Amino acid sequence: MTTALLPQDNQQVEIEGIDLEASPLSLEPDKRTIYTGSADPEIESLYGKWKKGKLILQSEFQRQFVWDSIKASRLIESVLLSVPLPIIYLAEGPSGNISVIDGQQRLTSFFSFIDGKFPSGKTFSLSGLQVFPELNRKTFQELDELLQDKIRYYEIRAVTIKKDSDPDLKFEIFERLNTGAVPLNDMELRNCVYRGPYIELLKAMANSPEFKALVGFKEPDTRMRDVELVLRFASFYHATYLKYQGPMRKFFNQDMEKYQYISKQDAYELKRAFKNALYIVRSLFGDSAFKRFVRGIEENPNGSWEPKKFNASLYDVLMGIFCDKDKNQVYRTLDALREGIIDLMSTNEDFIGAILFGTSEVGRVQKRFDLMRFLVDDVLKQTKKQPRCFSLALKKEMFDANPVCAICGQTIQTVDDAAADHIEQYWQGGQTIPENARLTHRYCNWSRSRKD
């Protein structure tokens, strides 16, 4: 069953599929509700709303005007010929303002012609007209009043998606209306659907120097991937990983909807937790943050950091686990935490699988968070008892003295690939003291239990 989305204004529509003025859109059967309004406003009316700031033409989620003067001129010529134009789609915001979802290039062309110049500042004079070649090189002000009125009072069909519509359904509609040469991604769509103080907060957090330095963005990302990373953190911070339900996309959308009009207190707490996590992760890993350390193999035991490969799952767990940890306590155990986390990501097969495969599955999400949390909590507790991990200072001292693996006898290439291993294993009562330490490849240390 398909129900048209062109009822009278504010009529409630129960849908199982979607037919936006014969647009080939459809959804899985459900009971969700969307509210729409349809009308045939004149260009003059839309132009007036735009001038008053009530029609958001080039909203942040939209790309800039890309039509050339010939294409824009032929649109004007179509109006003079009374040719019907495609529908434009609008979305009503919380404050009553209207955003253009589909039709930005057309409306920009109309408004630019009336104003006499393109957004770039270039004069808009008609060019490339075939039916009315005598109008080439004329501006709007140079047209006869009759032709000006024909443009001003031309009616164009517009469908407006009301602000009370179901957010998930509205998100899907916007996605399907996104027919540009470069489709909008999920975060760009959220920037439209969930306008309000929360999205502005996420943008501000993404623009913080500490965050940009840690994730490698020198400038705000043009596709809002930096903002989505902040949203990832915020979603797990708010709901916790224990309440995660996939898919990720819906999980993030739910957070955007719930906190769309975030309170000042909630905003303050989110920023504080975000900053806390950033400082700790930077202290732990610096430029290697959110990359995975890969152990070697039997043929080549040398391991290495994955170059320029950002792992979003590692980002989630590191930021999520350290957001509420006491920095002073963490800094007292920084070396042990670093060693433990590198060991976890390079030798624990359950953790490796959870950050590489099926990463949005509920079980995988909970597995990687649990393993990281158990490790971090265990290390932090060791401040008052026998530590499990040797200090980084001892490992560096051993590496500088003799960077040869005590198990395979080959040279260890980097200190990060070195493990200070217990000669008498820890679980058998071996103490974490220099006399019980030997230097090995991480791979060799990992494979030791299989060979001993």
- Residue 315's pLDDT is 97
- Tens digit of pLDDT per residue, the chain (452 long)? 233 332 233 333 332 333 333 333 334 445 567 788 889 999 999 999 999 989 988 654 445 677 889 999 999 999 998 888 888 988 888 777 888 888 888 999 999 999 999 988 899 999 999 889 999 999 999 999 999 999 999 999 998 988 888 777 777 777 777 655 456 688 988 887 787 899 999 999 999 999 999 998 888 888 899 999 999 999 999 999 999 998 999 999 999 999 999 999 999 999 999 999 999 999 999 989 999 999 888 888 888 898 778 999 999 999 999 999 998 889 888 888 999 999 999 999 999 999 999 999 999 999 999 999 999 999 998 765 556 677 788 888 889 989 999 988 899 999 898 888 887 766 555 677 777 889 999 888 887 654 45
Length of the chain: 452
- Residue 225's pLDDT is 92
Q: Give the pairing of strands 11-14 and 158-161.
A: unpaired
The DSSP secondary-structure symbol of 292 reads -
The DSSP secondary-structure symbol of 412 reads P
Read out DSSP for 14-79? E-SSEEBTTB-----S---EEEEEEE--BHHHHHHHHHTT-EESS-TTSPPP---HHHHHHHHHHH
- Residue 309's pLDDT is 83
- Residue 176's pLDDT is 72
Q: For residue 173, which of 156, 154, 157, 159 has the smallest C-alpha distance?
A: 159
Burial per residue of 419-440, b for 16 or more beta-carbon CB atoms within 10 angstroms, e otherwise = bbbbeeeeeeeeebeeebbebb
- Rounding to the nearest 10 degrees, give the CA dihedral for residues 153, 154, 157, 158: -50
- pTM of structure: 0.60
- Residue 32's pLDDT is 64
